[in-house]
Chain A
Amino acid sequence: MHIAALPMAVPMLVAPLLVVVRRWSPRIVVDLLATATGVAVVTLCVILVVRSAHHPFAYWMGGWRPGHLVTIGIALDVDPLGAGLAAFAAVLVTAALLYSWRYFEAAGGLYQALMLVFLAAMAGFSLTGDIFDLAVFFELMGAVAYALTAHRNEERGPIQGAINFAISNSIGAYAIFVGIALLYARTGALNMAQIGHALDGHQADPLVLVAMTLLFIGFLTKAAAVPVHFWLADAHAVAPTPVCVLFSGVMVELGLYAVARLYWTIFAGPLGPHAHTLQAILIAFGTVTALWGGIMCFTQRHVKRLLAFSTVSHMGMFLCGVGLLSAGGLGAVATYVVGHGFTKAGLFMLVGVLLHRFGTVDEFDLHGRGRGMRLVGVLFAVGGLLLAAMPGLSTFFGKSLLDGAALEGDYPWLPAVFVFSSVATGGAVLRVGGRVFCGWGATEREDVPEQEHAASEEEDEETESRSHTPPLMVIVPAVLLVAAVVGGLIPGAVPAVEKAAAHLGDHAAYVHWVLRSGPPHYAAVESKHVEDYDYVYAAGAVLGAVAIAALTLFGPPLRRRVPEPLIAAALRALGGLRRLHSGHIGDYIAWWTAGAAVFGGASLVLLR
């Protein structure tokens, strides 16, 4: 077997093995085997990155190579970006498995097996060159994720969260299948390079536009774009913490990766003349997502939901970056995704420490209870600064590239949206840190009584409180957060990611290396420099985050100066926004339909 297939094959083979051996072997054997498999997949993916660095290649399974630009076989397209994403997913899965050693007291082997299948699906999703396989890996990733969400299937929260997650994402997947069927009807191909080649030089007609709408809205469901994002907070609030690490760190980002990939391999040709309009549509969705996620994030008291909405807000930023439809935007998003993934993984694990220790993730219930946990508190604050993209940290490099790409793409107001997102999400995490680890601020919230139920949701997972935290549960997030802090400073790391992402955006070269197996001729990629204004934005964002956190912790006296009607109006608007997240699957699907209709309507009217 070729090495390209191993990142999927190895975990797929070990997973059933774990299910068998768990009956006879002690837990440590299962944990060791699962973690070792994770490490093996990391190694395999790194080898693929290195081997494809100069010459990306397609591996045709069973030797069914294309002839005269017609494909019969199924390909894995190995390029540095796809292999890099698979490696990133494998790193996070390994970290999550390592963390679970001590986090779960009773994980009987099925959990580890599901995590490995999850890893196989994510690796396959990153590497496949076949659009139908992309959808199948999407569904596999989904099915495993639903089961993992409902891991504690005797409790109410996980049951409802998993049902909402499963139905929303399945609808997205069926939209994707319809889109694929339409493209197959038009081109007779399932290989993405061949579909793209067949559509080159043609105008975008309604069939192509409907196919694009269904594919994009389907993958955006996974990527949690407003208004198809509702499942995300529900699933994150109830899934076991190590699973949240994977959801927020890499799974939702993969949804966006699929959108970027489909655009550049398939739709860049027919939609090229209308790129400006499509840009506007995607950026509109991204902006709403970034703002909505930011507001919802800052007003949460359930810390896992807070982090979930911070992911929504960041996905909005990433969607704006991908929506710029430029090599610069892609490079920025790829850089940012890595920094954000490590940060979010670390933060979720730290929340897991609190849950493990105190049996709750309610910000007010935890007030001051983390005073003795210095290291955890410091790490939590570092996570907040990472979300706010403090200069020098790896997220800062992603964000400054994103600012640069937005200015180049004639969207000078986008950096303001990004600053808002950084301030709201970073500020929220710093506020929680201040309240929990330093005991600052109020012990109970007076103004929004409807939120009380948030506290009682989390009576699950790890119920009783404990007197100490296993060191491993602090070491793993510490390593991830340190990686997020210093990652951007490794010489050559950021330009390498930028280059890999820019190569994804080279449609002609992609068709050439997949269908003709020739060496691609890429245009030289110029790596961007950090500009002076980036430091100004970033410093503004960090100061804003610290200020808003301080204001909510120490500012209640100031509130009396604000006119009462203004506060009442703001609370009413906020209440309306919160009520939309009703937990009712019918509401979510109604919103999904509306989102698809808006996206499709805008595409059909504007992209002709």
Chain B
Amino acid sequence: MSFLPFAVAAWLFVVGLYGIVSTRNLVCAILSLTVVQSATYVLLLGVGYRTGGQAPIFADIPQVSTAVDPTVQVMVLTDIVIEATVTGLLLALAVQAHKRFGSLDPNELRAVRD
């Protein structure tokens, strides 16, 4: 198995964090959040990959000896559902923020702070 998926996952996680920290636009921050989550997809699929493995379909086709792990694929699907929910909610909040603050710059959001 290749080392590459793990390196890509680590890179995506860190670069997504950097995006949230450095951005001046809330929508960009939310998209960076989905980049962080993409790291988990790549990692999960990398974990389940088997060299020479086929798609995990066990009916109606000739049987093969190795298949990639279907469990991680199910986990990725669950993960995507969660992402859709959270991203949708956050984008709706970003719309509201633009309406109420007149800006999407996190520096201009000053309603809660100490």
B-contacting residues of A (Cβ < 8 Å)?
A: 132, 136, 139, 142-143, 146-147, 150, 153-157, 159-164, 166-167, 170-171, 173-174, 177-178, 180-182, 184-185, 190, 233-234, 237-238, 296, 305, 457, 578-587, 589-590, 592-593
Chain B contributes a number of interface residues (CB within 8 A of A) equal to 43
Q: Are A143 and B114 in contact (CB under 8 A)?
A: no
Nearest 6 CB-CB pairs, A to B?
A583-B113, A581-B114, A156-B111, A177-B40, A185-B47, A157-B111
Q: Which residues of A contact B17 (CB under 8 A)?
A: 171, 589, 592-593
Interface string of B70-96 (1 = CB under 8 A from A): 011001001100100110011011101
A568 to chain B, nearest CB (A): 20
Q: Which residues of A contact B106 (CB under 8 A)?
A: 584-586
Q: Are B47 and A167 in contact (CB under 8 A)?
A: no
Q: Are A143 and B89 in contact (CB under 8 A)?
A: yes
Q: Are B100 and A156 in contact (CB under 8 A)?
A: yes
Q: Which residues of B contact A166 (CB under 8 A)?
A: 86, 89-90, 93
Query: Do A150 and B93 contact each other (CB < 8 Å), given the known contacts A181-B72, A584-B107?
Result: yes
B68 within 8 A of A: no
Q: Are A178 and B114 in contact (CB under 8 A)?
A: no
Among B39, B47, B106, the most chain A Cβ lie within 10 Å of the Cβ of B106
Q: Are B23 and A583 in contact (CB under 8 A)?
A: no
Query: Do A178 and B43 contact each other (CB < 8 Å), given the known contacts A582-B113, A583-B112, A585-B29?
Result: yes
A142 to B94, CA, bound (A): 18
| Cβ contacts A to B, 18 pairs, < 8 Å | A132-B75, A142-B86, A143-B82, A153-B93, A156-B100, A157-B112, A161-B112, A163-B94, A166-B89, A166-B90, A174-B36, A181-B47, A296-B114, A582-B114, A583-B110, A584-B107, A585-B106, A592-B17
Q: Are B29 and A586 in contact (CB under 8 A)?
A: yes
Q: Which residues of A contact B30 (CB under 8 A)?
A: 167
B91 to chain A, nearest CB (A): 10
Query: Do A586 and B21 contact each other (CB < 8 Å), given the known contacts A150-B93, A153-B93, A157-B112?
Result: yes
Q: Which residue of A lies closest to B90 (CB)?
A: A166
Could you count the A-B residue pairs with CB atoms below 8 Å apart for me: how many are there? 140
Q: Are A581 and B113 in contact (CB under 8 A)?
A: yes
Q: Are B114 and A578 in contact (CB under 8 A)?
A: yes
Q: Are B20 and A181 in contact (CB under 8 A)?
A: no
Q: Which residues of B contact A590 (CB under 8 A)?
A: 21
Q: Are A146 and B47 in contact (CB under 8 A)?
A: no
A-contacting residues of B (Cβ < 8 Å)?
A: 9, 13, 17, 20-23, 26, 29-30, 33, 36-37, 39-40, 43-44, 47, 71-72, 75, 78-79, 82, 85-86, 89-90, 92-94, 96-97, 100-101, 106-107, 109-114
Q: Which residue of B lies closest to A590 (CB)?
A: B21
Q: Which residues of A contact B89 (CB under 8 A)?
A: 143, 146-147, 166
A147 to B92, CA, bound (A): 10
Q: Are B72 and A184 in contact (CB under 8 A)?
A: yes
Q: Which residues of A contact B72 (CB under 8 A)?
A: 181, 184
Q: Which residue of A lies closest to B107 (CB)?
A: A584
A575 to B39, CA, bound (A): 37
A98 to chain B, nearest CB (A): 27
Q: Are B112 and A160 in contact (CB under 8 A)?
A: yes
Q: Are A174 and B39 in contact (CB under 8 A)?
A: yes
B17 to chain A, nearest CB (A): 5
Q: Are B29 and A159 in contact (CB under 8 A)?
A: no
Q: Are B112 and A457 in contact (CB under 8 A)?
A: yes
Candidates A154, A157, A170, A296; contact of B86 at CB < 8 Å: A170
Q: Are B21 and A159 in contact (CB under 8 A)?
A: no
Q: Which residue of B lies closest to A183 (CB)?
A: B47
Q: Are B111 and A159 in contact (CB under 8 A)?
A: yes
Given contacts A154-B96, A586-B106, 5 further A-B contacts (CB under 8 A): A160-B111, A167-B30, A182-B43, A184-B47, A589-B20
Q: Are B97 and A167 in contact (CB under 8 A)?
A: no
A581 to B112, CA, bound (A): 9
A292 to B93, CA, bound (A): 30
Candidates A154, A160, A586; contact of B23 at CB < 8 Å: A586
Q: Are A178 and B40 in contact (CB under 8 A)?
A: yes
Q: Which residues of B contact A177 (CB under 8 A)?
A: 37, 40, 44, 79
